[in-house]
Amino acid sequence: MSPTREHSPHAEPASRQVAAVLRAAIEAGELAPGDRLPSERELAATHGVARNTAREAVRQLSEAGLVTAVHGRGVFVRSERRLMRLGQRRYSRKLREETGLSPFHAEVQAQGRTPSAYLASIERVVPPAAVAERLGIRADVKSCVRRENRYFADDEPMQIGTTYIPWEIAKGTVLATDGPLGTGDLYARFADTGHDITYTREEVIARMPSPVEAKELQLPHGVPVLEVLHTGLDQDRRPFEVTQFVMRADWTGLDYTMAVDE
């Protein structure tokens, strides 16, 4: 027997017991992705608890990423994640030249979804310390251009990408303007300036989103973000751009294959 619902010392809290029942139903497939859970009031009645207790159970599932509540409609089992797998191939020159697509567009199309992206802002700015350090530029003057991009798949926001380019590289080129980039993508334009992306350093962390990020990425509760600080290095191992990606982690994975250092 599992711990009973009766009063007894050290019993599992009622909210956890209700959550466990729902979790089991979801994992057994009795509640399939997209299905609606019983309403909080129903759960309260059937399990003999107060509505707040049933609500707490739902909250636990929501935090764990299993369900999503929709105001006025109900609580639904979350759909399977459809993972976009982003790897170092996304910087491939061959891929760029063959498809004429940016790496993000190529990746999303390969998943059978419709990609879109737009430049949200472009500005000459003082770089954050971490960026200045990686680019080897000054952190006390407007030494770089910041390009902020939003990326979507089927009109659902997937990533925010903030690229920092040293002013010395960007000045006088399309990189410093909000004009169209032409055939290929940003990396084709970097190649024009003599910086051919040859190596890439990716520093990855995971964390919960800030309120602003949760809003911009339309994140349900319980979805973390992957933050990738990407540094592009050219044929001479010189860094020429840093991009901070913030990606919703339920739809995004990273896939790297690399040689082990000697």
Partner DNA sequence: TAGTGGTCTAGACCACCAT
Partner DNA sequence: TGGTGGTCTAGACCACTAT
The residues that touch a copy of itself, with contacts defined as CB under 8 A, are 63-65, 83, 85, 88-89, 91-95, 197-208, 210-211, 221-222, 224-226, 233, 249-250, 252-262
Which of 12, 192 has the CB closer to DNA? 12
69 close to 78: Cβ distance less than 8 angstroms: no
Which of 51, 124 has the CB closer to DNA? 51
Which of 69, 101 has the CB closer to DNA? 69
What does the buried/exposed string (b/e) look like for 214-243 if buried means 16 or more CB atoms within 10 Å of the residue's CB?
A: beebebbebbbbbbbbbbbbbeeeebbbbb
Where do runs of H (alpha helix) occur along 28-166?
40-47, 51-63, 93-99, 103-110, 129-135
| Nearest approach, Cβ of residue 88 and a copy of itself (Å) | 5
Binder of DNA out of 1, 2, 6, 10 (CB under 7 A): 10
Which of 129, 208 has the CB closer to a copy of itself? 208
AA letter at 122: I
Two structure tokens written together for 112: 């059978």
Closest CA to 182 of 97, 92, 95: 97
| Nearest approach, Cβ of residue 223 and DNA (Å) | 14
Residue 112 interacting entry, from a copy of itself, DNA, none, C-beta within 5 to 8 Å by type: none
AA letter at 223: V
AA letter at 109: Q
List residues near DNA by CB under 7 A: 9-10, 13-16, 37, 39-42, 48-53, 55-56, 69-75
